[in-house]
Amino acid sequence: MPWLSTLMGVSVLGALGVTLVRNDKLAKQFTLVVSLIVLALTVAMAVQFSPNGDKFQFSETYDWIPQFGVHYAVAVDGIALVLILLSVILVPIVVLASWHDAEAGKRSVRTYFSLLLVLEAMMIGVFAATDVFLFYVFFEAMLIPMYFMIGSYGGAQRSYAAVKFLLYSLFGGLLMLVAVIALYSIAGKGTFMFSDLVGTIQDVTTQKWLFLGFFIAFAIKAPLWPFHTWLPDAAAQAPAGAAVLLVGVLDKVGTYGMLRFCLELFPDAAKFFTPLVITLSVIGIVYGAIVAIGQTDMKRLIAYTSVSHFGFIALGVFAMTTNAGAGATLYMVNHGFSTGALFLIAGFLIYRRGSQFIADYGGVQKVAPILAGTFLVAGLSSLSLPGLSTFVSEFMVLSGTYERYVVPTVIATVGVILAAIYILWMYQRMMNGPTAESVKTLPDLNLREKFVVAPLIALLVIFGFYPKPLLDVINPAVKDTLTSVSVTDPHPAVPVAQEGQQ
Amino acid sequence: MNGTIEAPTIEYALLAPLLVVFGAAIVGVLVEAFAPRYLRSAIHLPLTLLSLAGAFALAVWQAVKGVPTKPAAMGAVAVDGPALFIWGTILILAFVSVLLIKDEEHFVGSAAAVPGSAEEEQSLIERAAHTEVYPLLLFAVGGMLLFPAANDLLVAFVALEVMSLPLYLLCGLARRRRLLSQEAAVKYFLLGAFSSAFFLYGTALLYGYAGSVDLAKINQALGSVGGQDTLLYIGAAMLGVGLLFKIGAAPFQAWKPDVYQGSPTPITALMASGTLVAAFGALLRVFWVGLGGLDWDWRPVLYGVAILTMVVGAILAITQTDIKRMLAYSSIAHGGFLLIGVIATGATRAENTSALSGLLFYLVAYGFTTVGAFAVITMVRDAGGEAWHLSRWAGLGKRSPLLAGVFAFFLLAFAGIPLTSGFFGKYAVFQAAVANGATPLVIIGVIASAIAAFFYVRVIVLMFFSDPAADGPSVVLPSRGTAAVVGIAALATVVLGVFPQPVLDLAHAAAQSLFVR
């Protein structure tokens, strides 16, 4: 069964269907059903995935544009699979959370949900593409639905934020396009298939140039410091649901691209640029965290925490050890859930009070304990409290990076402390203390909102205690990636064998 | 000398598409002369459409039957693969533009009446109409067909004039904002006359150098004639100026915004699509065939021109407030992207084929999107005609989501977003350029694309993210012709963006034989 095409096909057909439904309420329910069907299908696919089987599974390959050597080729390895799972889990949650988002602006509700489903298809496609050109097409095309979601349904500064988001990403994408074309020409294989292109570029100088073309695009997308300035604007202005998908999934395309394309296609260049990337990542971790502390707008604050977290992910990717790589992949998933939860609950608050500013709140936990409690759990996950899922991945990244780069790891650890400050201080200002006059009548989470938050909290806790199912899938794929980059994990400083001799 | 002159052989069958168009144009003139006024329009429209469709069918038939490998008409006209492909493209685009023209609202009743005078009033009362636009248009289209197929410089010059003269006239016939329209016509005429003179002067100098105006013979002379380099270089440069003017490449782009703005929109659509295609066909033939041996000399110059054109087009477009002027600058920028393809010649035949087929595909993709975009512009109207000022387009997405959506889609295609035809056009040209070592040019190209994306996106922002003005423009119910144009253009943009392979194959097959010599 062509699983991946089915997933995309169902989403696209659903998107078309939504535009045909005349009734807004029906359109929402229809979208929810479609996204749940996609989720069910993905789960059905995922259970058939054998972690120790072929690297790429559920593979489909058709010629798309033979003249350019372009294929419609999709398949998943462990890394792509968990990211697709992340996407399809988030979409129904976002649909449910955005139930009233599109109504505020008196704009077309159907268009919003239709764009959501189009975006879902593209998110699946971008992670599943095994043809570099197809990846590029999804990479660029998925900007358009997000652009309209921010620009049409966002906050006051929405059109500025939408244009900034689009132009930054487009510019990065166009640089990548040059690299994609050059990769094709220089490889001279007449094909864009990823598997055929791995290892074809041997010349190190060429690799460096092509690496930069890809890397800048991904660094803007992820975003790494100093390419991050669009993210706080876009995330703060986007409606909460779109912000979740933007930060939770779209940005992961950047870090996923680094792991999949930058490392495997240009291994020598990747090693050459590792010190630079690690420096940027560490700066991003600390800078993002410090700036987050200073934010007065909670959505911007969450966006800056993400800049910090993306630093960790990039650090893990470029540390090139199994632990760090697997940790970074796991981090991508966990960050999607924890930041998703933060954005959504913040969105519920903003919907109730009509303000994004932290100063407008105070003592919310007295009037809305469930809201405050779930916000706290999501926040604690974001600051990597042991027992919640982000801790596992952050610990893996740090310990994996420590095997090779001690000083950067030590500096990055500061980010963990700063995370406690920005989360807990935000919580303190908003939820503790005397209840502010304006929030006295704030209702607690209703049933729909509980259904939104419950699965996210459950996932955070489950994967906090038992990340094995994910790691079982991720580990072989990461090992495989590192093998094709031809790096091996450094030996422990004190070999185990010596202990035995004593 | 034996005193006998051999009768020239003319391959009528090969030239049939040309002859049909010119024939119909002449019949059109006769109709103007003899048919009663009330009948003229009813005769012109089917005549024009049928002749264009017939010429297209003949061109297709010729392509199916087999592409000739020798120039026709004693070496004057080359009906080869690229020429047939370009013919097909121009004929379809012209057909589509005629559907726009059919809505005669765009043209002035009496062009000779001074704007604002009693005569003008009178012509409005009499409901006078210039039905001459149809034969004029056919002549222009005939010139467009001949220009890229001309295999010697004299025929090229004649074609250039046949193409341009009717367009000068048509530019001045706008019904509204007439002074602007007349100014556009005069500007276009004066500058166009200059450029024609340059072209002719260049032809004369090259004749002095090579002893022939035949492109193939000029190319042969490049290797054998010595000591005449001054003639050659000045001649080639002047020829280049004439051709680059027609494309609107910087620094010869100044006419484009004024002319595009002032002309009746259907004529702008025809110029922005058909003329551009024709001019690029001719430019390619002159530079690749006639001056192919000189490529070491012209390549750096075109390199510079391409960069300048892309940058000037993209940057100046940002400052525009008139939608037609903005699209004119966008057309200049696209001319720059296309020039990248002209430069992307390589050492081998296969490389040249890929560059040529990329260019051909780009021309088709761009032509359709352009006609579609201008068709949309004709539909958004204020009390005084088309709503030309960009600010008037604010909030159109709410008032008429479908039209705004289609226009946004065209703009995204101009910007080269994947899954639109514009992306593959750009990709094909860029790929050929990278394969032939012009990577720096491609990098500048993508930077220009990013700048250009800004002003396309700005229009989308206006249409969708801004609130509509209280007295905003109304969207007229399109006539069947206009609706068909928008539909065809949108369909072409989607299909070429998702399944470009058939047209790519066609372009590749057309480019396979390259230009005949």
Burial A157-172 (b: 16+ CB within 10 A, else e): ebbbbbbbbbbbbbbb
The reported pLDDT for the residue numbered B2 is: 61
Distance from CA of A135 to the nearest CA of B (A): 11
**How many Å apart are CA B359 and CA B429, to the nearest integer?**
6
CB contact under 8 A, B453 and A140: no
CB contact under 8 A, B431 and A181: yes
Report the range of poorest mean pLDDT among B20-29, B121-130, B144-153: B121-130
pLDDT tens, residue by residue, B59-104 = 999 888 888 878 888 888 988 889 999 999 999 999 999 998 876 5
A322-353 and A298-319 helices, crossing angle to 10°: 170
By C-alpha distance, the chain B residue nearest A141 is: B418
Please list the helix, strand and coil fractions of chain A in percent, rounded to the nearest 5, in that order. Answer: 75, 5, 20
CB contact under 8 A, A162 and B500: no
**How many Å apart are CA A337 and CA A86, to the nearest integer?**
8
**How many Å apart are CA A82 and CA A89, to the nearest integer?**
10
- Using pLDDT thresholds of 50, 70 and 90, give the confidence band for residue A501: very low
**CA proximity to B334, closest of B382, B282, B284, B277:** B277
**How many Å apart are CA A173 and CA A146, to the nearest integer?**
15
- Better-scored residue on pLDDT, A462 or A154: A462
CB contact under 8 A, B461 and A159: yes
Q: How far is CA A331 from the centre of its chain?
A: 9
The reported pLDDT for the residue numbered B413 is: 94
**How many Å apart are CA A406 and CA A490, to the nearest integer?**
13
Residue B467 above 90 pLDDT? no
Residue A430 token pair: 């908003």
Query: Is residue B4 domain-resident?
Result: no
CB contact under 8 A, B457 and A178: no
The reported pLDDT for the residue numbered B206 is: 92
Bridge-partner residues for B107, per DSSP?
B174
CB contact under 8 A, B428 and A68: yes
Task: Give the C-alpha distances (Å, rounded to integers) separating B252 from A218, A487, B248, B265, B275.
Answer: 39, 56, 6, 22, 15
**How many Å apart are CA B424 and CA B292, to the nearest integer?**
27
Q: Is B498 helix (H, G, I), strand (E, B) or coil?
A: helix
Mutation target among A12, A19, A65 for the B interface, most CBs of B within 10 A: A65
CB contact under 8 A, A181 and B427: yes
E-strand spans in B377-455? 380-382, 385-386
Distance from CA of A123 to the nearest CA of B (A): 15
Q: Are A95 and A29 in contact (CB under 8 A)?
A: no
- Using pLDDT thresholds of 50, 70 and 90, give the confidence band for residue A156: confident
Q: Are B111 and B45 in contact (CB under 8 A)?
A: no
DSSP assignments along B449-476, one per residue = HHHHHHHHHHHHIIIIISPPPTTPPEEP
CB contact under 8 A, B439 and A170: no
User: Strand order of the sheet with strand B474-475?
Assistant: B385-386, B380-382, B474-475
The closest CB to that of B453, out of A137, A138, A167, belongs to A167
Summarize the confidence of residues A362-369 as an average pLDDT.
85
CB contact under 8 A, B446 and A174: yes
Number of helices (H), then strands (E), belonging to chain B: the values are: 21, 3
- Using pLDDT thresholds of 50, 70 and 90, give the confidence band for residue A202: confident
**CA proximity to A282, closest of A292, A274, A294:** A274
CB contact under 8 A, A136 and B418: yes
Residue A136 above 90 pLDDT? yes
- Using pLDDT thresholds of 50, 70 and 90, give the confidence band for residue A104: low
Residues in chain B with CB shorter than 8 Å from the CB of A171 are 447, 450
pLDDT tens, residue by residue, A121-135 = 999 999 999 999 999
By C-alpha distance, the chain B residue nearest A171 is: B450
HEC states along A81-108?
HHHHHHHHHHHHHHHHHCCCHHHCCCCC
Mutation target among A144, A152, A184 for the B interface, most CBs of B within 10 A: A144
A167 contact partners, CB below 8 Å, separation of at least 6: B450, B453, B454, B457
User: Peptide bond preceding A226: is omega within 30 degrees of 0, i.e. cis?
Assistant: yes
A104 contact partners, CB below 8 Å, separation of at least 6: A153
**How many Å apart are CA B344 and CA B53, to the nearest integer?**
33
- Number of structural domains (chain B) is 1
Question: Which residues of chain B are at the A interface, by a Cβ-Cβ cutoff of 8 Å?
Answer: 398, 401, 412, 415, 417-419, 423-424, 427-428, 430-431, 434-435, 439, 442-443, 446-447, 449-450, 453-454, 457-458, 460-461, 464-466, 500-501, 504-505, 508
Of all residues in chain B, the percent with pLDDT exceeding 70 is 99
CB contact under 8 A, A170 and B453: yes
The closest CB to that of B431, out of A68, A107, A140, belongs to A68
Task: Give the C-alpha distances (Å, rounded to integers) separating A323 from A350, A471, B86.
Answer: 39, 10, 58
- Using pLDDT thresholds of 50, 70 and 90, give the confidence band for residue B199: very high
Residue B467 token pair: 């609130």
**How many Å apart are CA A427 and CA A304, to the nearest integer?**
16
Q: Are B387 and B393 in contact (CB under 8 A)?
A: yes
Query: Is residue B68 domain-resident?
Result: yes
Q: Which of A478-482, B349-353, B495-499 has the highest mean pLDDT?
A: B495-499
Residues in chain A with CB shorter than 8 Å from the CB of B464 are 148, 151-152
B12-34 and B37-65 helices, crossing angle to 10°: 180
Residues in chain B with CB shorter than 8 Å from the CB of A148 are 464
- Better-scored residue on pLDDT, A225 or B360: B360
Residues in chain B with CB shorter than 8 Å from the CB of A136 are 418
**How many Å apart are CA A146 and CA A144, to the nearest integer?**
5
Of all residues in chain A, the percent with pLDDT exceeding 90 is 42
**How many Å apart are CA A274 and CA A262, to the nearest integer?**
11
Mutation target among A110, A159, A183, A210 for the B interface, most CBs of B within 10 A: A159
Task: Give the C-alpha distances (Å, rounded to integers) separating B39 from B34, B35, B198, B348.
Answer: 10, 6, 42, 56
Q: Are B372 and B327 in contact (CB under 8 A)?
A: no
**How many Å apart are CA B118 and CA B107, to the nearest integer?**
18
Task: Give the C-alpha distances (Å, rounded to integers) separating B188 from B172, B183, B191.
Answer: 10, 8, 5
The closest CB to that of A137, out of B398, B419, B465, belongs to B419
Q: Which of A348-357, B53-62, B476-485 has the highest mean pLDDT?
A: B53-62
Domain range enclosing B120 = 12-512
Residue where the block lists tokens 């420096």? A279
Residue B380 token pair: 């958004």
The closest CB to that of A67, out of B415, B450, B501, belongs to B501
Report the range of poorest mean pLDDT among A49-58, A286-295, A448-457, B360-369: A49-58
Provide the 8-state DSSP code for A51.
Answer: T
What are the φ and ψ backbone dihedral angles of A465, each rounded to 5 degrees?
A: -95, -30
**How many Å apart are CA A115 and CA A19, to the nearest integer?**
10
Residues in chain A with CB shorter than 8 Å from the CB of B466 are 159
CB contact under 8 A, A162 and B430: no
By C-alpha distance, the chain B residue nearest A133 is: B418
pTM: 0.91
**How many Å apart are CA B261 and CA B252, to the nearest integer?**
17
**CA proximity to A303, closest of A275, A343, A267, A336:** A343
A501 contact partners, CB below 8 Å, separation of at least 6: none
The reported pLDDT for the residue numbered A500 is: 43
Pairs of residues, one from chain A and one from chain B, whose beta carbons lie less than 8 Å apart: 86
Bridge-partner residues for A73, per DSSP?
A61
Count CB atoms within 10 A of the CB of residue A421.
14
The reported pLDDT for the residue numbered A492 is: 59
CB contact under 8 A, B501 and A158: no
Summarize the confidence of residues B176-186 as an average pLDDT.
89
Of all residues in chain A, the percent with pLDDT exceeding 70 is 96
Residues in chain B with CB shorter than 8 Å from the CB of A181 are 427, 430-431, 434, 442
pLDDT tens, residue by residue, B315-335 = 999 999 999 999 999 999 999
Residue where the block lists tokens 């919580």? A427
**How many Å apart are CA B379 and CA B105, to the nearest integer?**
11
CB contact under 8 A, A171 and B434: no
Summarize the confidence of residues A194-200 as an average pLDDT.
86
CB contact under 8 A, B453 and A163: no
Residues in chain A with CB shorter than 8 Å from the CB of B447 are 171, 174
pLDDT tens, residue by residue, A278-329 = 999 999 999 999 999 988 888 899 999 999 999 999 999 998 898 899 999 9
The closest CB to that of A152, out of B412, B465, B508, belongs to B465
Query: Is residue B413 domain-resident?
Result: yes
Q: Mean of the per-residue pLDDT values for chain A?
A: 88
Residues in chain A with CB shorter than 8 Å from the CB of B361 are none
Summarize the confidence of residues A80-108 as an average pLDDT.
84
**How many Å apart are CA B12 and CA B16, to the nearest integer?**
6
Provide the 8-state DSSP code for A435.
Answer: P
**How many Å apart are CA B332 and CA B334, to the nearest integer?**
5
Summarize the confidence of residues B133-144 as an average pLDDT.
94
- Using pLDDT thresholds of 50, 70 and 90, give the confidence band for residue B369: very high
- Using pLDDT thresholds of 50, 70 and 90, give the confidence band for residue A53: confident
Residue A498 above 70 pLDDT? no
Bridge-partner residues for B77, per DSSP?
B72, B150
ipTM of the prediction:
0.88
CB contact under 8 A, B450 and A174: yes
Q: Are A59 and A221 in contact (CB under 8 A)?
A: no
CB contact under 8 A, B417 and A181: no
Query: Is residue B273 domain-resident?
Result: yes
Side-chain half-sphere CA neighbours of A360 within 13 A: 14
Mutation target among B443, B461, B495 for the A interface, most CBs of A within 10 A: B461
CB contact under 8 A, B453 and A166: yes
Residue B106 token pair: 């765009």
Side-chain half-sphere CA neighbours of B474 within 13 A: 6
Task: Give the C-alpha distances (Å, rounded to integers) separating B221 from A171, B73, B227, B230.
Answer: 46, 22, 12, 14
The closest CB to that of A65, out of B435, B443, B500, belongs to B500
Residue A20 token pair: 């045909």
Q: Are A157 and A33 in contact (CB under 8 A)?
A: no
- Sign of the alpha-carbon dihedral angle for A234, A240, A245, A247: positive
- Using pLDDT thresholds of 50, 70 and 90, give the confidence band for residue A349: confident
Bridge-partner residues for B72, per DSSP?
B77
Please list the helix, strand and coil fractions of chain B in percent, rounded to the nearest 5, in that order. Answer: 75, 5, 20
Residue B225 above 80 pLDDT? no
Question: Which residues of chain A are at the B interface, by a Cβ-Cβ cutoff of 8 Å?
Answer: 64-68, 107-108, 136-138, 140-141, 143-144, 147-148, 151-152, 158-159, 162-163, 166-167, 170-171, 174-175, 177-178, 181-182, 184-185
